[in-house]
Amino acid sequence: MKLVFSLILISLFSFQINAQDSKHQILDKVSFADSLKSKEVLLIDVRRPEEFEAGKIEDAQNINVLAPESFNTEIEKLDKSKPVYIYCRSGNRSGKAAQIMQDAGFTKIYDLEGGYLNWTAEKQPED
């Protein structure tokens, strides 16, 4: 019984450490917009090209997370030391992209809460 209890505690402790190690933060759109004012950020739209062409956040580059080979190739070209701001349509794909980028060595990843739908839902913050 002590062995089972010990294994459970070790598992929970390991999970806690991994959760604290996460370099992926979700930002509300006001914080996201404020952060984009810095010239030292990378803004990546991880949606499909046709979604990107239909509407995007200014200065975003499109790297489609649903095309894994291309996505991995393109993110390897980016500066991993710069903050990366990512978004998709609603937040699901950008979460996946954030995990891939974290695994690839990016250390500062910020995800737009609610994605582009949230971004366009109301008037954006003024400069």
Any idea which residues carry the catalytic annotation? 88
Could you tell me which residues come within 8 angstroms of residue 49 by beta carbon, excluding any fewer than 6 positions away?
A: 62, 64
CB 29 within 8 A of CB 113: yes
Rounded Cα distance, 3 and 80, in Å: 42
DSSP-derived letter for residue 76 is: H
In the numeric block, which tokens belong to residue 102? 């974290």
